[in-house]
Amino acid sequence: MSELLLVTRPKYDDGTEYLAYYSSLIIKEAEKEGIQVKDFEGKEADKKNVINFIEKKNPKIIFINGHGDENSLCGHGDAIIFSLDNITLLKEKLVYARACSAGAILGANLAERNNGCFIGYKYPFQFWIDEKWSSKPSNDNAAKLYLEPSNEVISSIIKGKTAKESHERSKNMMMKNMKKVLKLGEKKEPGAMGMLQVLWNNFDGQVLHGNPLAKIE
Amino acid sequence: MSEEKQDEELKELVLARIGIMPPNLKLSIGNFGTFTKQEMIEHVKCGDAAGKQIIQMQISFIKALTSGRLIEILNKNE
């Protein structure tokens, strides 16, 4: 039986629109890898739908997009899907939470006695958007610097890499992009430092909890 | 230097850094929102939650630069 990937893709502000677009690229990749996908898009990304699905279908890979804080992960309209009350639903799974700060406390609850993993962020996940392309994220080279390395986490997981490998491949891409931006800074490109510090924020903030060797079978 | 003066100088540094960003770029900071350059300046000046978050990111970056940690990490990958 093929693995099952659950994706939440709320779309109700600039940030979530971009995350939703980049997640759609992962959905296409997963389907090419023969992985079944359940996509909770827009308003469907709510607690009732997601929790029901996890309880019934037991997806192995969980990819959460949206807003969050140290203690929660949200879906559509900032409504909480996961909190300390139900985080154990994510045990034994391969979880990537592309959201703010949930890696600090919520994800840390999955560090012990868990054969799965939680990759997320202990700080707010951030990225620059080029307003010229905000209605067409695919053309936005500013956002690409942040969202391609982020996609690498889940892209690596669905290709069978371990949690540690996936986490490190993503960080390596961020390092590569930091060097690219540093070169722009050397050419006195305005905004290079601003772009670099956001890459650093996401690099320093990305954390892995749980079993570093966790992977799909 | 008093803490107040340090905070003020840091704020000025952050404002200067934001000031040189190209006007077409906006920063998405999770549930704090997405901000134009001008909006970021206003939030930093008024010191609200978003403004504090922007400053905190700056502090973290400065620490990584001055401690050598950023360069050490980038050089490790060469």
Q: ipTM for the complex?
A: 0.94
Q: 3-state class of A80 per DSSP?
A: strand
The number of domains in chain B is 1
Kind and range of the H or E element at B12? helix B3-19
Measured CA to CA, the distance from residue B34 to residue A186 in angstroms comes to: 28
pLDDT at residue B7 in the model: 83
Structure tokens at A2: 């093929």
**pLDDT 10s digits, A124-182:** 999 999 999 989 999 999 999 999 999 999 999 999 999 999 999 999 999 999 999 99
Structure tokens at B48: 């609200």
The mean pLDDT of A201-211, rounded to a whole number, is 97
Structure tokens at B33: 């929102």
Select from 2.30.29, 2.30.30, 2.60.40, 3.40.50 the CATH code of A4-208: 3.40.50
pLDDT at residue A59 in the model: 98
Question: Is A181 exposed, middle or buried, given 0-12, 13-18 or 19+ CB atoms closer than 10 A?
Answer: buried
Mark yes or no for CB contact A197/B61 under 8 Å. yes
pLDDT band at A1 (very low <50, low <70, confident <90, very high): low
Amino acid at B47: G
**pLDDT 10s digits, A181-196:** 999 988 888 899 999 9
Q: Who contacts A203 (Cβ-Cβ below 8 Å, separation ≥6)? A: A171, A174, A175, A178, B73
Nearest CA in chain B to A78: B31
Range of the domain at B67: 3-76
Structure tokens at A178: 């930091």
- Alpha helices (H) along chain A: 14-32, 47-57, 141-158, 163-186, 192-205
Measured CA to CA, the distance from residue A212 to residue A176 in angstroms comes to: 23
* Bridge partner list, A67: none
* Bridge partner list, A210: A117
Tell me the CA end-to-end span of chain A in Å, nearest whole number. 11
Residues of chain B neighbouring A136 (CB-CB closer than 8 A): none
Q: Closest to A100 (Cβ–Cβ): which among B20, B26, B31? A: B31
- The mean pLDDT values, 10 residues at a time, for chain B of 78 residues are 83 93 95 95 96 94 94 82
| Minimum distance, in Å, between the CA of residue B53 and any CA atom of chain A | 9
**pLDDT 10s digits, A34-89:** 999 999 999 999 999 999 999 999 999 999 999 999 999 999 999 999 999 999 99
pLDDT at residue B6 in the model: 83
Parse chain A into domains and list their residue ranges.
4-208
pLDDT at residue B31 in the model: 87
Residue whose token pair is 């890499």: A161
User: Could you give the C-alpha distances from A191 to A43, A94, B16, in angstroms and in order?
Assistant: 35, 36, 11
**pLDDT 10s digits, A84-130:** 999 999 999 999 999 999 999 999 999 988 999 999 999 999 999 99
* Strand ranges of the sheet holding B34-35, from the earlier edge strand across to the other edge: A126-130, B25-29, B34-35
Structure tokens at A37: 């996908």
Mark yes or no for CB contact B30/A67 under 8 Å. yes
Mark yes or no for CB contact B74/A182 under 8 Å. yes
Q: Closest to B34 (Cβ–Cβ): which among A14, A130, A132? A: A14
Task: Give the predicted TM-score (pTM) of the model.
Answer: 0.96
Measured CA to CA, the distance from residue A39 to residue A24 in angstroms comes to: 9
Rounded CA Rg of chain A? 16
Q: Contact at 8 Å (CB) between A95 and A64?
A: yes
| Minimum distance, in Å, between the CA of residue A75 and any CA atom of chain B | 11
